[in-house]
């Protein structure tokens, strides 16, 4: 028997059948597990979750399993996710929220060993940004040492045009007799330019010109995927260290277009609309306070409630761009809806959710799981798909099966 109980009544020995809609933020790989330690209960409470569903038939009054002896339980799995209490001072956090707006994340695989750059590069790890190599009137050579430094490589926003020029110069060499390398560079340029565009748009979300430029990015992505047979690896950013809304937006766009093309049920025009909706699906996050959007720990209940407002804020922002609203409405407004009705903002169910909304909601969940946070490592593609499979009633089964197929081009 499934019974809904307040979190205060949860105790060791109970079998949790499901947690509320914030499952992506939880430290638990699966949502069906026996509670074996008080630490698990504390982690759920810290998320602000008020109720859980327990299976009384599977629950038992087991003694608490110690962490030393719990080699095969979910407690060990959550420990492997590097859950941690982050002992940051308010001064450190204030500096972090200020600094994060000054930099743009770039993929290190675009920095080719032996090439030269005319801009400074920094390394971001946890909440701190350190200079990696300072540009001082002399071009910087890309070396193994620079490329092997752990953390996210970031550059100053004011250097983004120099970075674009660097990528353009790389593409024009055509990599001599290395067509595969040239193809990789070409796709990397599309990805990186799209990320920069989204970063600029999130800084100024009501810029009509930037929104129009998004059409060009989507067209390039569609064209590239069509020409390369849904081989999308070079168009994706694998975030091993932290989350960036603009990078997530491009990833969701790429994967959504790839899935739409694989399905073969959408017209060319519909695929472009899906791509636009996916690229702009999180534009409402530009209105979320940075202390919540980039908080280096899990959100509490109040903060999560504010974060959920990004969907409605996106509708408000894009309603000013009347030429766009109708064609991208469903991906933007429905990417957090679930087939079971447990999503937001409207709690739509099954057929009430548009096919484009169902598609982007699946991709959004997948990319969120495979992206790192300061408090939790990124799931591998296999782990992420395993989590989604456990929650498959929330997602379209056909879309899920086809997503598994296209991820064959991505290796851990």
Residues 272 and 354 in one domain: yes
Of 79, 110, 135, the one marking the end of a domain is: 79
* Whole-angstrom distance, CA of residue 4 vs CA of residue 19: 10
Q: Does 202 map to a domain? A: yes
Residue among 295, 223, 228, 222 at smallest CA distance from 255: 222
Cα–Cα distance measured from residue 138 to residue 119, given in angstroms and rounded to the nearest whole number: 9
Asked, for residue 84, whether it belongs to a domain, the answer is no
If asked whether residues 380 and 256 sit together in one domain, one would say yes
Do 253 and 113 belong together in one domain? Answer: no
Q: DSSP letters along 130-156, please?
A: EEEE--SSSPEEP-HHHHH-SSEEEEE
Q: Which of these, 70, 20, 3, 39, lies nearest to 342 by C-alpha position?
A: 20
Please tell me whether residues 287 and 388 are part of one structural domain: yes
Give the span between the Cα atoms of 412 and 238, in whole angstroms.
10
CA 368/CA 282 separation, integer angstroms: 12
Q: What confidence score (pLDDT) does residue 177 get?
A: 56
Query: Both 237 and 341 in a single domain?
Result: yes
Q: Are strands 116-117 and 33-34 parallel, antiparallel or unpaired?
A: unpaired
DSSP secondary-structure letter at 3?
E
Examine the domain organization and report whether 35 and 98 are in the same domain: no
151: left (phi over 0), alpha (psi -120 to 50) or beta: left
Q: Which two tokens stand for residue 328?
A: 């991208």
Kindly report the pTM of this predicted structure.
0.80
Angle at 269 between CA 263 and CA 275, to 5 degrees: 70
CATH code, 391: 1.10.3210.10
Q: For the CA atoms of 358, 228, 200, 109, what is the dihedral angle to 10 degrees? A: 120
Residue 189 lies in a domain: yes
Residues 113, 31 share a domain: no
Mark whether 197 and 337 lie in a shared domain.
Answer: yes
pLDDT of the residue at 5: 85
Distance between CA 188 and CA 194 in Å, rounded? 10
Q: What are phi and psi of 128, to 5 degrees?
A: -115, 140
Per DSSP, which regions of 161-292 are E strands? none
Distance set, CA 69 to CA 16, 64, 131, 258 (Å): 21, 10, 43, 44
Q: Is 329 a domain residue? A: yes
DSSP string for 345-374: SS---GGGS-HHHHHHHHHHHHHHHTS-BT
* Cβ(354)–Cβ(383) below 8 Å: no
Tell me, yes or no, whether 12 lies in a domain: yes
For 188, the 3-state DSSP assignment is helix
**Predicted pLDDT at 81:** 36
Asked if residue 229 and residue 131 are part of one domain, the reply reads no
In a shared domain, residues 350 and 212:
yes
Q: Among the three residues 159, 182, 204, which one is the final residue of a domain in this structure?
A: 159
188 and 148 assigned to the same domain:
no
Overall domain count for the chain: 3
Residue 167 counted as domain residue: no
- The tens-digit pLDDT sequence of the chain (412 residues) is 778 888 888 888 888 876 655 555 555 545 566 777 787 787 777 666 777 878 777 775 433 322 222 223 323 333 333 334 456 788 988 999 988 889 999 999 899 899 999 999 999 988 889 999 999 989 999 999 999 999 999 999 999 999 999 998 887 775 545 666 677 788 889 999 999 999 999 999 989 899 999 999 999 999 999 988 777 888 888 777 678 999 999 999 999 999 999 999 999 999 999 999 999 999 999 999 999 999 888 888 899 999 999 999 999 999 887 767 778 999 999 999 999 999 999 999 999 999 999 999 999 999 999 988 777 778 888 888 988 988 899 999 999 999 998 887 554 4
In the listed set 79, 100, 125, which residue is the last one of a domain according to the structure?
A: 79
Position 165 in a domain: no
User: Which residues is 6 bridged to in the sheet?
Assistant: 51
* CA neighbor of 75 nearest in space, from 23, 31, 36, 25: 36
Q: What's the pLDDT score for residue 175?
A: 52
Give, as one character, the DSSP assignment of residue 35: -
CA 375 to chain centre: 14
| The 2-6 sheet, strands edge to edge | 2-6, 51-55, 15-18, 33-34
249 shares a domain with 118? no
Distance CA 310, CA 293 (A): 10
**Paired tokens of 337:** 């809806």
- Residue 106, domain extent: 89-159
The answer to whether residue 169 is domain-embedded is no
Helix axes 245-263, 397-406, angle to 10 degrees: 100
């Amino acid at each position: 028997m499934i019974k809904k109980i307040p979190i205060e009544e949860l105790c060791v020995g109970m079998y949790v059948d499901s947690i509320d809609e914030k499952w992506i933020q939880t430290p638990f790989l699966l949502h069906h597990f026996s509670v074996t330690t008080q630490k698990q209960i504390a982690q759920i409470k810290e998320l602000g979750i008020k109720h859980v569903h327990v299976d009384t038939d599977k629950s038992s009054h087991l003694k608490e399993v110690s962490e030393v002896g719990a080699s095969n339980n979910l407690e060990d799995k959550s420990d492997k996710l590097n859950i941690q209490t982050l002992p940051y001072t308010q001064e450190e956090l204030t500096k972090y929220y200020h600094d994060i707006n000054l930099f743009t994340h770039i993929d290190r695989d675009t920095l080719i060993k032996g090439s030269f750059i005319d801009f400074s590069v920094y390394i971001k790890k946890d909440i701190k940004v350190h200079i990696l190599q300072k540009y001082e009137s002399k071009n910087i050579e890309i070396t193994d040492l620079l490329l092997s430094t752990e953390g996210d490589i970031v550059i100053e926003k004011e250097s983004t045009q120099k970075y674009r020029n660097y990528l353009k110069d790389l593409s024009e060499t055509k990599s001599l007799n290395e067509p595969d390398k040239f193809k990789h560079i070409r796709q990397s340029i599309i990805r990186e330019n799209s990320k920069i565009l989204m970063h600029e748009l999130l800084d100024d979300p009501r810029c009509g010109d930037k929104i129009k430029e998004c059409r060009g990015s989507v067209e390039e992505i569609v064209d590239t995927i069509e020409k390369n047979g849904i081989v999308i690896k070079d168009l994706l950013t694998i975030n091993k260290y932290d989350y960036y809304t603009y990078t997530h937006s491009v990833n969701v766009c790429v994967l959504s277009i790839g899935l739409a093309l694989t399905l073969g049920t959408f017209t060319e025009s519909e695929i472009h609309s899906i791509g636009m909706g996916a690229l702009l699906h999180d534009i409402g996050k530009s209105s979320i306070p940075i202390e919540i959007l980039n908080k280096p720990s899990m959100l509490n209940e109040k903060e999560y409630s504010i974060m959920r407002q990004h969907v409605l804020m996106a509708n408000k922002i894009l309603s000013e761009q009347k030429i766009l609203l109708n064609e991208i409405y469903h991906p933007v407004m429905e990417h957090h809806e679930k087939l079971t009705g447990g999503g937001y903002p409207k709690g739509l169910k099954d057929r009430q959710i548009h096919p484009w909304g169902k598609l982007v909601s699946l991709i959004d969940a997948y990319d969120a799981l495979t992206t790192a946070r300061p408090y939790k490592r990124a799931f591998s593609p296999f782990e992420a798909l395993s989590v989604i499979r456990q929650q498959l009633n929330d997602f379209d089964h056909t879309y899920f099966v086809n997503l598994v197929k296209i991820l064959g081009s991505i290796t851990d």
